[in-house]
Amino acid sequence: MADLKDRIEGLRKAFEAEALKVGDAKSLEELRTAFLGRKKGHVTLLFEDLKTVPAEDKREAGRQVNAFKTFVQDGLLALEGKVRSDGRPARAMDLTLPGRKKYVGAPHPLVLFQQEIENIFLGMGFAIEEGPEIETDYYNFEALNFPPHHPARDSWDTLYIKDDLLLRTHTSPVQIRVMEKKKPPIRIIIPGRVFRRETPDPTHLPMFMQVEGLVVDEGATFAHLKGTLEYFIRALFGEKIKVRFRPSFFPFTEPSAEVDIECIVCDGKDPSCRVCGGTGWKEILGSGMVNPQVLKNVNIDPEKYSGWAFGLGIDRTAMFAYGITEMRHFYENDLRFLRQFGAK
Amino acid sequence: MKISLDWIREFVTVDIPRQELLDRLTMIGLVADTVEERDGDAVLDLETYANRPDTLGHLGVAREIGAMLGLSLNEKNWPLAELPQATTEIAEVQILSESLCPRYCGLVVRDVPVGPSPDWLERRIEAMGLRPINNVVDVSNYVLFATAQPIHTFDFGKIGGGRIVVRKAKRGETLKDLDGRTLELTTDMLVIADESRPVALAGVIGGEASGITGATRDVFIESANFDPVGIRKTAKKLGLSTDASYRFERGADVGFAPQAALMAASLLTQMGGQASRGLIDVYPKPHQPKFVRLRLRRIAELLGVDVPESFVVEVLGRLGFRVEGTHKGVWRVEAPTFRVDVGLEADLIEEVARFYGYDRIPSEFSPVRSFDLSVNRKRERLGKIRQTLLGQGFDEVINWSFADPEKEAAAGSGLRPVDIQNPISSRASVLRTTLLPGLLENAAWNLNRGLEGVHVFELGDVFYWEGDKHREELHLGLLTTGLLPGAGWTSAPAETDFYVLKGAIEALMEALRFEPVAFEDRDHPHFEPGQALALLYKGLAVGCLGALRKSLAAASAGDRTVFAAEVDLTSLFEKTPRIFQYAPVPKFPGVSRDLSFLLDRGIAYQEVGQALAKLNPSLLEGFELRDRFSGPSIPAAKVSLTVRFRFRHPQRTLVAEEVDRVEQDIVGHLRSTLNIQLREGKIDNRT
């Protein structure tokens, strides 16, 4: 018995000494074989020797041998923790596992882009106004200086509910509603859904989002319109973007201007550019000085006050900004599309 | 409008490089969408505006170019071979409807050899994208595209009695037009008639019977001016749009009608015809000149730049305006008859600005002279709703406001939808009364593409008739079905359920401080019977939530259960939320105890709360449900609820005995009111 005990004690010391030298998988395997090897392992041999131990000592001897086996196994396990197969020390925790994220929903890209636009104007002291989507002919057209039966209405192809009731074709009727109830100075933007009787194609849909802006004040000038819209465009597309204003026609503004920005897709170098058609310019805003007739329609004296206004399509501007080629993606609500705009 | 640069040179001598010309045209508002090369010519497709009919002809565009480059228009001669016979001896013109036809000019060209046009004329017609027909028709098209004044040519031999009568159509009259269609005329339509019947639909299209054919010898040239609204109404009513009606409905140049007739006559006489002497010109109320006052000061005030006086006078002069100084810096400006768009000082300022150059107007920041200090509550609230729902893991969608009437009916909101008179398609012919069908389509779209769960919300308006008034309300729609997002390597994917939906609603009502809300069992056509709740705030039902009817959900989500909610935000926002007040953070520790009860399945959890509210025990700070359980260890008709009760005294630390007393009150009260039994031992947690 004492003999066995000494042997075990000797082997324990030998194991501890060898264990200190283990630095890689190979030496660990050698140590394992030396102690647990099926034929000549020290522990295996101890079990062999147990057979010769007298019956009355067998129980205690067995316990000691088993305890030593557990000690070796634990020791080997602990060593396994220190070496990896390629020899690198193992990690206590693998911190490179992916983190646990709460899923946060994705905001709709048009809402996101609209908020971006709103924030720029809020910073310039504009307030946000809204209005109904079902409108009367008066607010949608007549008050905005579209006479009945005027061909100018053709560009605002309309979905009618009744003769006098329609789905607003632009957010401009809200200009009239606000000017009717508030006195200048007025400094507002008007986001919202608008509707046109358009045959769907990649850049036209019967429903889309618009943001309208209106300033009415003493001394409001075309120079202010230019300065503000240039600032807005640079805030949205970067400091370096080129902007140009060119004459256009809208019944409710005079003079009117279309605002183009340089094509950030091809820089005007690709004659078949799907964004600018090779012109190098992309139209993004309609604008102008509020037609004095519109001011008269809401009892604002055009001799005392002047105004300027603008409107832009959120969808098409967002398409340009994000490189989206099909407007209908915004309304298909494919989550694989929408979620690109959220926290991933 | 197609514009041939070669043709332009008939009117103004342009010799700058083409690209420079195009760039400069853009900057005065004339944008060429495309440029087509044609045998050394370039044909522009020019964008034109509804208020500028003068640019619907080469002359008008040439005038713009002239003003832009400081060039005068070329003088052109229109020689005429005349007969001794006066026009009035051959033909007679009578206008019976002066308001619809302010002017009518005409003359006859005899012995026109009808045949192919000369090459130069065919080239012009082809440049406009048309096929040459014969010299007479081509000449009238030539004048139209050259000057924007539509003219019409009749076979004079077919004009009964040589009489032209401009009148409204009589009841039941028809006209077979040049394209062979039989037009049913109504009494508000203006026609050109001979002594007995209509021979043309005025300003829109000619009649077949009086059209030019190979057999035509004498041609009557009509160059008239028609009321734009009359032409537009007629053309719209008949579904016709012609080069003539397109120009008349925008406004033709009333002053140019005689000149256009003479141009056409000159060309036809150059081809061998002989014109009757003198023009018939019926012009009962000659155009009164339009004068507009223009102030130099006002130009600076509107544009924000000082434009030199000399520039103003020069540019307006080149554009055909008569400018006469009245005081220092003030002019009386007479608009030419072709500028039907000019009536206000601002219109003239636009002309000045266009040619001065928008790019030369400085860019200035618009001064803020006052702030709108009112808070836009609605937007603030919508922001909170979005934030809350995104945080709850719902994605935001935007659906069409249009709806399929069949799907609307199936959804069964019970509201009368608003019809669109002229919808894009029969499946989008009404406006939605509920957001639900749109959300179901989103579920179908995404599940069909392999996603295992859809959890979405939309903020948008719904519409319906209430009597003869239309209503427009802002709604919130929510839908959840399938696996919840956010499963990772540490947690298995979980299936959504009703309480995910309800939790989202509770969270957003809390975020908006519309508290406390109540829920009531209430069936609704969207939902399975007994699986729907109404959401109430201050006694008003503002929404509903539940498990969608299988028959409604199956087409989109198959076997999956779909949970959905809809909240009427317009009604909710009319209510006042709870005013937020801070509550002091407790100074003394509280005690919480978990009690498990057995209760009948028929009793709703809400009733437990109501019973406790009625008892209103002192020291009870609050309680929440910790566990709900049913199974073999308890009777089948019962469920087990574990509720955590939180006790606290505001001024001191609690002792166990007083908590015991309150706890006994609670247990006793629940037993006596709802027959709820205490289930097992209690757990005492000091917190």
Burial A52-74 (b: 16+ CB within 10 A, else e): ebeeeeeeebeebbeebbebbee
What would the mean pLDDT of B30-38 be, rounded to a whole number? 91
- Residue B686 clears pLDDT 70, i.e. is over it: no
- For B290-360, CATH gives 3.30.56.10
How far apart are the C-alpha atoms of B61 and B146, rounded to whole Å? 10
Judged by a CB distance cut-off of 8 A, whether residue B683 touches chain A is no
- B451 and A335 within 8 Å at the Cβ level: the answer is yes
**Residue range B411-459, pLDDT digits in tens:** 888 899 999 999 999 999 999 999 999 999 999 999 999 999 999 999 9
How far apart are the C-alpha atoms of B222 and A301, rounded to whole Å? 45
HSE, side-chain direction, 13 A CA sphere, residue B309: 11
What would the mean pLDDT of B371-390 be, rounded to a whole number? 91
- In the block, tokens 């050259």 appear at B146
- Residue B108 clears pLDDT 60, i.e. is over it: yes
- Residue A299 clears pLDDT 70, i.e. is over it: yes
- For B591-686, CATH gives 3.30.70.380
Distance from CA of A313 to the nearest CA of B (A): 16
Residues 244-273 of B with CB under 8 A from A: 246, 249-250
Distance from CA of B99 to the nearest CA of A (A): 16
Residues 600-619 of B with CB under 8 A from A: none
Look at the alpha carbons of B247, B248, B249, B250 in this order and tell me if their dihedral is positive or negative.
positive
Quote the mean pLDDT of chain A: 91
ipTM, interface predicted TM-score of the complex: 0.91
HSE, side-chain direction, 13 A CA sphere, residue B581: 4
Pairing of strands A134-136, B82-86: unpaired
Alpha helices in A209-291 (DSSP H): 222-237
Confidence of residue A86 (pLDDT cuts 50, 70, 90): low
Tokens of A290: 């509020």
Chain B CB contacts of A193 below 8 Å: 401, 460-461
Judged by a CB distance cut-off of 8 A, whether residue B344 touches chain A is yes
**Residues present in chain B in total:** 687
Contact A313, A194 (CB under 8 A): no
Judged by a CB distance cut-off of 8 A, whether residue B494 touches chain A is no
Contact A223, B303 (CB under 8 A): yes
Nearest CA in chain B to A247: B29
Distance from CA of B394 to the nearest CA of A (A): 5
Q: Domain ranges in chain A?
A: 2-82, 109-341
What would the mean pLDDT of B632-644 be, rounded to a whole number? 90
Please measure the distance between the N-terminal and C-terminal CA atoms of chain B and give it in whole angstroms. 82
**Residue range B574-633, pLDDT digits in tens:** 999 989 899 889 999 999 999 999 999 999 999 999 999 999 998 999 999 999 988 888
Element (H, E) at B66: helix B58-69
A125, A226, A334 member nearest B446 (Cβ): A334
What would the mean pLDDT of B107-124 be, rounded to a whole number? 96
What would the mean pLDDT of A190-208 be, rounded to a whole number? 94
Nearest CA in chain B to A157: B422
Size of interface A-B (CB pairs under 8 A): 241
| Whole-number pLDDT of residue B683 | 45
Give ranges for CATH 3.30.930.10 in chain B. 377-574
| Whole-number pLDDT of residue A57 | 84
CATH 3.30.930.10, domain A109-341, yes or no: yes
| Whole-number pLDDT of residue A87 | 62
- B386 and A292 within 8 Å at the Cβ level: the answer is no
Quote the mean pLDDT of chain B: 94
Give ranges for CATH 3.30.70.380 in chain B. 591-686
Quickly count: other Cβ atoms within 10 Å of residue A301's Cβ: 10
- Residue A149 clears pLDDT 90, i.e. is over it: no
**Residue range B184-220, pLDDT digits in tens:** 999 999 999 999 999 999 999 999 999 999 999 999 9
**Residue range B502-512, pLDDT digits in tens:** 999 999 999 99
Secondary structure class of B685 (helix, strand, coil): strand
Phi and psi torsions of A325, nearest 5°? -100, -15
Quickly count: other Cβ atoms within 10 Å of residue A29's Cβ: 12
Its CATH architecture, for the domain B377-574, is: 2-Layer Sandwich (3.30)
Chain A CB contacts of B350 below 8 Å: 247, 254-256
| Whole-number pLDDT of residue B684 | 44
Give ranges for CATH 3.30.56.10 in chain B. 2-69, 290-360
Confidence of residue B685 (pLDDT cuts 50, 70, 90): very low
Please state at what angle helix B58-69 crosses helix B309-318, rounded to 10 degrees.
Answer: 160
Its CATH architecture, for the domain B2-69, is: 2-Layer Sandwich (3.30)
How far apart are the C-alpha atoms of B140 and B271, rounded to whole Å? 14
In the chain, the amino acid numbered B523 is: D
| Whole-number pLDDT of residue A25 | 79
Secondary structure class of B21 (helix, strand, coil): helix
Confidence of residue A5 (pLDDT cuts 50, 70, 90): confident
Give ranges for CATH 3.50.40.10 in chain B. 82-282
Phi and psi torsions of A342, nearest 5°? -105, -175
The angle subtended at Cα B376 by Cα B374 and Cα B379, nearest 5°, is 165
**Residue range A111-131, pLDDT digits in tens:** 999 999 999 999 999 999 999
Confidence of residue A225 (pLDDT cuts 50, 70, 90): very high
B394, B442, B490 member nearest A105 (Cβ): B394
Nearest CA to B379 out of A129, A30, A58 is that of: A129
Q: Which of B302, B445, B556 to mutate to test the interface with A (most CBs of A within 10 A)?
A: B302
Quickly count: other Cβ atoms within 10 Å of residue A16's Cβ: 11
Tokens of B17: 């490089």
- B485 and A330 within 8 Å at the Cβ level: the answer is no
Which has the higher per-residue pLDDT, A58 or B190? B190
| Whole-number pLDDT of residue A92 | 77
- In the block, tokens 């839908």 appear at B479
What would the mean pLDDT of A75-89 be, rounded to a whole number? 74
Read off the DSSP letter of residue B279. Answer: -
- Residue A7 clears pLDDT 90, i.e. is over it: no
| Whole-number pLDDT of residue A85 | 61
Edge to edge, the sheet with strand A253-262 lists: A127-128, A186-195, A207-217, A306-313, A281-290, A253-262, A243-250
Please list, in sequence order, all residues whose beta carbon lies within 8 angstroms of the beta carbon of residue B453, skipping any fewer than 6 positions away.
Answer: B480, B481, B482, B483, B484, B485, B496
Nearest CA to B521 out of B602, B414, B637 is that of: B602
Alpha helices in B83-118 (DSSP H): 87-90
Q: Which of B301, B395, B483, B489 to mutate to test the interface with A (most CBs of A within 10 A)?
A: B395
B366, B395, B422 member nearest A197 (Cβ): B422
What would the mean pLDDT of A28-42 be, rounded to a whole number? 88
Look at the alpha carbons of A147, A150, A154, A159 in this order and tell me if their dihedral is positive or negative.
positive
- For B82-282, CATH gives 3.50.40.10
Residues 75-104 of A with CB under 8 A from B: 97-98, 100-104
